Amino acid sequence: MRGMVYPPFEIRYVKCRQHSSGGQAESTIIRLSPFTFPSQLEWHIEKVAKQHDYHTLYLLRSIPGVGQILALVILYEIHNIKRFPRVQDFSSYARLIRPTKESDGKWAGVSNKKIGNHHLKWAIKEAAILMLRDSDQAKKYVAKYERKYNKGKALGIFTHKLGRAIYFMLKNKEAFDMKQFFAQ
């Protein structure tokens, strides 16, 4: 292995802009070696993300426990919050609720477990776990539901609540407010 030369690899970022003439997408190519430090890569990815939508990135970073990586994952998995007309649509897309199987308006069982974006579900669940680690209010909230349900269900309820908060936070362009989050 010693003396082996690794070829550089490329990461391509594509900026899509809609032109009335059916225009082209702009792309940025970054050439990296296998020995590039992860911090340099993270710095460059965040720099590109700030160019795309810096305000949304800072709003996501206002959530306790959400750092640079989780904010980037959530930002790029949601794309644009305007895609979701209702919070229910966002929750379904983020796999925060279990969809029911219906036919002709009648209930036909529970399936469709893999509909939605599993990366977004992971990021919101990680944010919920990290918030639980730091916040006493969050621990009390989850403990209240643990008495009624089991621990997994309580964490799922808390994750759904955080997902709804993220939706309204991005829709209204407001920073995360812990008092308002636990007010309901």
**Per-residue pLDDT tens digits for 58-68:** 888 888 888 88
| Type and span of the H or E element at 106 | strand 106-107
Which is nearest to 137 in space by CA: 90, 97, 176?
176
Model confidence, pTM? 0.70
Distance, CA of 108 to CA of 94 (rounded, Å): 23
pLDDT bucket at 72, cuts 50 / 70 / 90: confident
pLDDT of 167 = 92
Instruction: Identify the H or E element spanning 9.
Output: strand 9-15
Q: Report yes or no: 94 and 157 within 8 Å, Cβ to Cβ.
A: no
Q: How far apart are CA 151 and CA 145, in angstroms?
A: 8
Residue 2 pLDDT > 70: no
Surface-to-core class of residue 129, CB atoms within 10 Å of its CB (0-12 exposed, 13-18 middle, 19+ buried):
middle
DSSP state of 100: P
